[in-house]
Chain A
Amino acid sequence: MNVFDIIFTTDFGYMIFRVTTPILFTALGAMISRRAGIMNISLEGLMLVGALFGVIGSTYSQSVIVGVLTAVVASLLLSLIFAYFVLKLKSDLILTGIALNLAASGGTVFLLSILCGDKGVSTSMNSLVVPNIEIPLIKDIPVLGEIISGHNVLTYVSLLCVVIVYLLINKSPMGLRIRSVGENPDAAESVGISVIKTRFIALIFTGILGGLGGAYMSMGYVSWFARDMAAGRGYMALAAQNLGNGTPIGTFLSSFIFGIADALSSTLQVLSLPAEFIQMIPYVTTIVGLILYAMNRKHKANKLRARL
């Protein structure tokens, strides 16, 4: 089989949506944080916690909705802890992020081990998955229907979130405040906008989106929790919003680039290439993407400067 046989299939198209979903959720979260002026590396931890609590919530309630809500609430709580430390106690942003990610990585295993005696995966727990849905009419369109219909509900929620986040950031009072707080906190403060409060709110959105991303990992992408299953997606999301220049649409598009890279790494495993190199694709793409973005920006600036 050659590469193109794999890429130009509806399966591959479908796969892209499937693997983009978690990155898109978290990248939107990272974007909101960034617009509020916070470099948020805690998303990796938020996703992990969301993933585990989705499994826990759905196992004990036997309800998908409760499962997803549990994931969101857990991630939100973690995000609030992050917010409290960074905003109230003025902790170092990066150190706090690292600390939370380490605690989330170990803490999820700790909980997993207590709940099901296994430190690897949660397969012994009877957790649920969010269902896939067919979209009427669209599902009957050839090719396109096969690619964009029949996805997990959360995949559609993630697309809806792009619209919501766009309205929030660009058209709502809160978005204006978030942008002003990120660009000039003193200016925001001078008109009575509480920088801390606004950033708290931004981090609440981030927490919710991170939780949804996590819930999708363990309740859609696969049907179990595995240790460190976020596998750097939280960091990739950070890179995606960077590449998207902090705009909702840009973040949406760059998340898809990472989705394609991720899809490639899952699909190309049937090829004779060494598995390790294929697994590297998303991480290499991140770096290459950031380089291309930076080169383009530099090129534009140089052109402008040369103009008389």
Chain B
Amino acid sequence: MSDQYILEMRGITKVYPNGFIANKDVNLAVREGEIHALVGENGAGKSTLMKVLFGVESHEEGEILLHGKPVNITDPISAIDMGIGMVHQHFMLVPSLTVAENIVLGREPKKYGTLIDMAKAVRDTQEICEKYNLKVDPTARVRDLPVGMKQKVEILKALYRNAQVLILDEPTAVLTPQETAELFVELKNMRDSGHTIIFISHKLNEVKELCDRVTVLRLGRTVGTADLDGLTEQEISRMMGGRDVILEIQKDAAEPKDTVLSVKDLSLNSSDGRPILRNINFNVRAGEILGVAGVEGNGQRELSEIITGLHAFTRGEIEIGGESIKGKSVKQIRRMGVSHISEDRMTYGIAARAGVEENVISDRYDMPEYCKSGFLRFKEIHKLTERLIQEFRIKCDDVNQPVRMLSGGNMQKVVAAREFSLEPKLSIVNQPTRGIDVGATEFVRNKIVELRDQGTAVLLISADLNEILELSDSLIVMHGGEIVAYLPDSQKVTEEELGEYMLGIRKQEPEEIRGVLHEC
């Protein structure tokens, strides 16, 4: 490691078209051959800063220096040419292409001067795989690969382009603890062979384990940079937000009552015949939070879509309050007292171009309180919206402000305001705090507990281990479309144990799993 800065960002300011100031006067200096952590709460401006560095976003003020010389990075092409590579939080891969095609994309080896030399592309891919000890099959189609593999393809893409500085945007968010450990070994390898790595995270234990130095951002500004040696997690955490990032939610022990949701022998195949859900059985009782842990893509999404009526099912049975939901529409199910926070806020949870008010009433606009002989009762609707804005502390200019102008946290509060305010019997809560700031996260989590205490049965699906362990009373783990474990007391579960179930390394006996049915 040398003391020379390979990369410096000075006084970067970025304002988004909707007026949101994501970075204000941010400074970052990275030494050659180090793993430099960039930490901060969700919404602190880490991703934006890296997008500026990679040329995805333009910046209003400030300069970027590479090897001490000012450079002008206008787009990803110039960033790549300067030896900067980025592994994005959401994978940037073309699913229908092979691994090799994805890797050579944009720098294809040619034959006859015009056509792609596929054989060479495969060879080249294999070579880098071997050099960095990353094992991927170059001829596999990317859509068939598991998440961890896809991430390797992303890293290979950057290495194929001779990246000297590699940016990883929250790479561990989608990985199991075991996959994370593997990734860290690979990253340390790369550092030792001379690469510089910028590692974005808000998980301080990982930062402490992997990185050499750290820069902390808060509310779009730089707090400072420090050596990680001799710095405790608590000290970093104080720099980040003045409190511990691992949120501790205050809650009393659950007092479960009657079964509200019961899922029996539920199975589902995908449109290409692959099994997605296999023989799922569980019950959720009033006044308890049942967590569903698991690596994403193991059937959780389909499960929540089936229970809320968004996805049809043929095999198995689902009852809510003793009544079957087979063949019922989303509206009918909602009217049975079911509410739903979707994992994909922008796709399902909100209409971004519509106002706060219009978003809040989407599940009740035709109830007599808000609609009389076809006409909307705007007075009542205003009153409701104003009340919810207050209660959920939604920060907006007025009730008609388009939701797209709000921050992620406030958008999610709009969703929560709608989904939690009709006194639901059952609430399906999927990734409730993904990508939102800490304040909003804490708020939403407390609301979920509040909901439980009012007697709602909550099914919480989350890939965030901390969240699932903090919030759930008991939990099940899904792997490959199956329930592989039932853990009756979340307090007694360790992340490692959970990780093993999530990866499918461990599996409980059927009798143990049956515990989730609460049949004494």
Residues of A within 8 A of B (CB): 167, 171-173, 176-177, 179-180, 183-184, 186-194, 301, 304-308
Contact = CB atoms under 8 A, between A and B. Distances in A.
A167 to B, nearest CB: 7
B270 interface: yes
A305 B76 contact: no
A172 B114 contact: yes
B95 A183 contact: yes
Contacts of B91: 187
Contacts of B157: 190-191
B273 interface: yes
A277 B91 CA distance: 52
A179 B95 CA distance: 11
B95 A193 contact: no
Contacts of B105: 176-177, 180, 187-188, 191, 193
Contact of B76 (A167, A180, A189): A189
Contacts of A193: 105-106
Contact of A190 (B86, B96, B108): B86
Given A190-B76, A305-B270, A180 B94 contact: yes
Would you call the interface of chain B mostly helix, strand, loop, or mixed?
loop
A177 B161 CA distance: 16
Given A173-B116, A189-B76, A191-B80, A180 B270 contact: no
Interface string B179-223: 000000000000000000000000000000000000000000000
Nearest to A304: B273
Nearest to A192: B77
Nearest to A180: B94
8 contacts: A176-B105, A180-B94, A184-B95, A188-B106, A190-B86, A190-B88, A190-B157, A192-B80
A193 B90 CA distance: 18
A301 B271 contact: yes
Nearest to B97: A180
A304 B161 CA distance: 40
Nearest to B274: A304
Nearest to A303: B273
Contacts of A179: 94, 96-97
Nearest to B121: A176
Nearest to A191: B106
B269 A187 contact: no
Contacts of A183: 94-97
A304 B106 contact: no
A183 B101 CA distance: 14
A192 B76 contact: yes
Given A192-B77, A305-B273, A187 B108 contact: no
A171 B110 CA distance: 10
Given A189-B56, A190-B86, A176 B116 contact: yes
B75 A188 contact: no
A184 to B, nearest CB: 5
A192 B106 contact: yes
B93 interface: yes
Contacts of A180: 94, 97, 105
Nearest to B268: A305
Which of B88, B106, B110, B116 neighbours the largest number of chain A CB atoms within 10 Å of its CB? Answer: B106
A264 to B, nearest CB: 36
Given A301-B271, A304-B272, A305-B269, A184 B108 contact: no
Contact of A176 (B80, B88, B101, B270): B101
Interface string B261-283: 00000000111110100000000
Contacts of B101: 176
B92 interface: yes
B115 interface: yes
Nearest to B115: A171
A186 B273 contact: no
- 9 closest residue pairs by CB, A with B: A190-B92, A192-B77, A304-B273, A173-B108, A187-B92, A191-B106, A180-B94, A192-B80, A193-B106
Nearest to A198: B106
Contacts of A187: 91-94, 102, 105
B92 A184 contact: yes
A171 B106 contact: no
Given A173-B108, A173-B110, A192-B76, A184 B116 contact: no
Contacts of B76: 189-192
B115 A308 contact: no
Contacts of A190: 76, 86, 88, 92, 157
A177 B106 contact: yes
A179 B106 CA distance: 12
Which of A172, A176, A190, A308 neighbours the largest number of chain B CB atoms within 10 Å of its CB? Answer: A190
A173 B81 CA distance: 19
A307 B273 CA distance: 6
A307 B269 contact: yes
Contact of A194 (B77, B161, B269, B275): B77
Which of A176, A187, A304, A307 neighbours the largest number of chain B CB atoms within 10 Å of its CB? Answer: A187
A163 B106 CA distance: 23
Nearest to A307: B273
Contacts of B110: 173
B103 to A, nearest CB: 9
Given A172-B115, A187-B105, A308-B275, 17 more contacts: A172-B116, A173-B110, A179-B94, A180-B105, A183-B96, A184-B93, A186-B92, A188-B94, A188-B105, A191-B92, A191-B161, A192-B75, A192-B81, A304-B269, A305-B270, A305-B271, A307-B269
Interface in B27-57: 56
A187 B80 CA distance: 14
Interface in B68-127: 75-77, 79-81, 86, 88, 90-97, 101-102, 105-108, 110, 114-116
A306 B269 CA distance: 8
Interface in B123-161: 157, 161
A186 B91 CA distance: 9
A304 B272 CA distance: 5
A179 to B, nearest CB: 7
A71 to B, nearest CB: 26
A191 B273 CA distance: 33
Nearest to A168: B114
A189 B107 CA distance: 13
B116 A171 contact: yes
B139 to A, nearest CB: 15
Contacts of B102: 187
Nearest to A183: B94
Contacts of B108: 173, 176
Contacts of A301: 271-272
A189 B74 CA distance: 13
A176 B97 contact: yes
Interface string B324-344: 000000000000000000000
A121 B174 CA distance: 64
A190 B169 CA distance: 13
A301 B269 CA distance: 11
Contacts of A305: 269-271, 273
A186 B275 CA distance: 30
A171 B118 CA distance: 9
A171 B270 CA distance: 31
